[in-house]
Amino acid sequence: MSEIIDLTMAERRMKGALEAVRREFATIRTGRANPAILDRVEVEVYGSRMPLRSVANVSVPEPRLLSVTPFDPGSIKQIERAIENADIGLNPQNDGKIIRLPIPELTEERRRELIRLARSYAEEGRVSIRNIRRDEMRDVHELRREGEISEDDERRAEAELQKLTDEYVRRVDAALADKESELLEV
């Protein structure tokens, strides 16, 4: 069966989709300081857009505070502007050398918004996993049409793909449940 269809490729792609969902979840702000919140921030410096982590060091000196230290002190204004424009709900405080980002308490309304966002990321992940299954199923059906595999092999491959898909959808759902409980934590 393993030579008929390569489930490891499908599993690798599904694992990548799961990791993408987890990375998206990491960018959602909770009540705690987490440097991943700033992963989507891009700074306009040196004539191009660069990820914040390429132009500054992000640290967590306190549980509710992020500290951004630019590698080039001359780019501090651009970094501050990029954080303000990123719409992540943080107010940068610039002292000329370091940008401090106090993490405010989340309001109930903001928590609900963030949960909706997390659910949409999870749904994108589920769709991605199902698309991988669809692509692999199409390959299996093509092998059957060409006469390279029997109908029984086709059914077995479909069952294995479905089992793999269900497992990765379950993992996305578990990651979503963890993120929701983290967001609801006061």
Q: Give the predicted TM-score (pTM) of the model.
A: 0.73
pLDDT at 107: 84
Integer CA distances (angstroms), 6 to 14, 33, 139, 140, in order: 13, 41, 10, 10
Q: What is the DSSP letter of 17?
A: H
CATH code: domain of residue 166: 1.10.132.20
Identify whether residues 84 and 46 lie together within a single domain. Answer: yes
Which domain, by its residues, includes 36? 32-102
Contact 184, 28 (CB under 8 A): no
CATH code: domain of residue 50: 3.30.1360.40
Helices first, then strands: H and E counts in the chain: 5, 6
Q: What is the DSSP letter of 184?
A: H
Identify whether residues 93 and 115 lie together within a single domain. Answer: no
Identify whether residues 124 and 148 lie together within a single domain. Answer: yes
Domain boundary among 102, 129, 163: 102
Q: Is the pLDDT at 2 greater than 50, yes or no? A: no
Identify whether residues 47 and 137 lie together within a single domain. Answer: no
In a domain? residue 41: yes
Q: What is the mean pLDDT of residues 53-69?
A: 89
Average pLDDT score over the chain: 88
Which value, to the nearest 10 degrees, does the dihedral of the CA atoms of residues 135, 139, 141, 143 take?
180
Residue count of the chain, please give it: 186
In a domain? residue 123: yes
Integer CA distances (angstroms), 95 to 2, 80, 113, in order: 60, 11, 31
In a domain? residue 1: no
Q: What is the mean pLDDT of residues 55-69?
A: 90
Residue 183 to residue 186: CA distance in whole angstroms: 8
Closest of 94, 91, 101 to residue 77, by C-alpha:
94
pLDDT at 1: 44
Identify whether residues 82 and 146 lie together within a single domain. Answer: no
pLDDT at 5: 62
Domain boundary among 48, 77, 102: 102
